[in-house]
Amino acid sequence: MILTTVGTEPYPFNRLMSWLQVLVNRELIQEELIVQYGSCSVWPESKDCFADIPETELIQLGKDARLIIGHCDPHWLKCFDKTANPYILVPRAQCYKEHIDDRQIELASNLALAGVPIAWSPGDLVRFLHSPRRISRSTLMTVANETVKRSLKKGR
């Protein structure tokens, strides 16, 4: 099973939902797909899709999943890390009106340098589906904390 979550931001993340639909249509995702789509106005057809899933249930689904696809949010990084499963992060971008700023892009760029799987395109998701990998918790938390500190210094 693959779990996808985009949180409950008031900004739709339709770009990721469209990528998932393409992967489903091309049969690159054939296993069960559970999607928490938040405020998105589109989501993959014929799949288990929910606007909201309680956090405790999402964490349990993450533990049961073969892999996780999620937006690049520091809170969810910690939640995903509680599972032993591989995950890939997809950053929201301000230019697509998916967030009020590009803090997720900044975090994703730093995490990518540390080896955290980041999807900048549908192709990145395809590669991850075929070869999922997981990074150590200590590396992840060090990079995430440093990125948050830099953002706070910038006044975000």
Convert the pLDDT of each residue in 130-142 to its tens digit. Answer: 999 988 777 777 7
d(CA 135, CA 40): 29
Burial class (CB in 10 A: 0-12, 13-18, 19+), 26: exposed
Closest CA to 69 of 111, 10, 7: 7
CA dist 46 and 15 (Å) reads 18
pLDDT at 156: 54
| Domains defined for the chain, CATH in brackets | 2-155 (3.40.50.2000)
Q: What's the count of helices (H) and strands (E) in the chain, helices before strands?
A: 6, 5
Q: Which residues contact 8 (CB under 8 A, 6 or more apart)?
A: 38, 39, 52
- Which three-class secondary structure state does DSSP give residue 112? helix
Q: What is the pLDDT of residues 9-40, one digit of tens each?
A: 999 999 999 999 999 999 999 999 999 999 99
- Cα 139 to Cα 77, 86, 135, 136, 154: the distances in Å are 12, 14, 7, 5, 23
Per-residue pLDDT of the chain (156 residues; tens, 9 = 90+): 999 999 999 999 999 999 999 999 999 999 999 999 999 999 998 679 999 999 999 999 999 999 999 999 988 888 887 888 999 999 999 999 999 999 999 999 988 988 899 999 999 999 999 999 988 777 777 777 787 788 788 765
Please report, as a single letter, which amino acid is at residue 94. Q
